[in-house]
Structures are given as structure tokens and as C-alpha cells.
Amino acid sequence: MNNSQKAIWRAMLDTDMNARYWKAMLIKYSREEKRIKIFLAIVTSGTVISIFSQPLKTTQQLDL
């Protein structure tokens, strides 16, 4: 292999490794984002349920 062939080969390897790296990052952060969204959905729905599950106070209970 001459120098230009080696340079082309290294460039192709660099490109392949770059594509593999960014694919791995995409998979990693997509999974993390999905977990965060599920967590937030559970937490916020729990908050809403707890707010609406408390009985409403009447005007007599509010000491007006």
C-alpha cells in the first residue's frame, strides 16, 4: 500500500468509527430520554391524583 491508499483507508476507518460512535450515543440518550419521560409521567400523574383525591372543603370548613 502506498501513502495515498493508507490515507484513504484511515479516512474510511475514521468515518466508520465516527458513525458507530454517534449511533451508540443516539441509542444511549434515546433510552435515557424515554426513562425520564416515563418517570415524569408517573410523578406528575401521582401529583394530580393526590390533589384531586383530597375532599373539597365547604364554606363552613373554611371559617368564612
Q: For the whole model, what pTM was predicted?
A: 0.60
Measured CA angle at 16 (ends 14, 20), to 5 deg: 115
**pLDDT truncated to tens, each residue of the chain (64 aa)?**
799 999 999 999 999 999 999 999 999 999 999 999 999 888 888 766 776 676 666 666 666 5
Cβ-proximal residues to 9 (8 Å cutoff; 6+ apart), any chain: 1
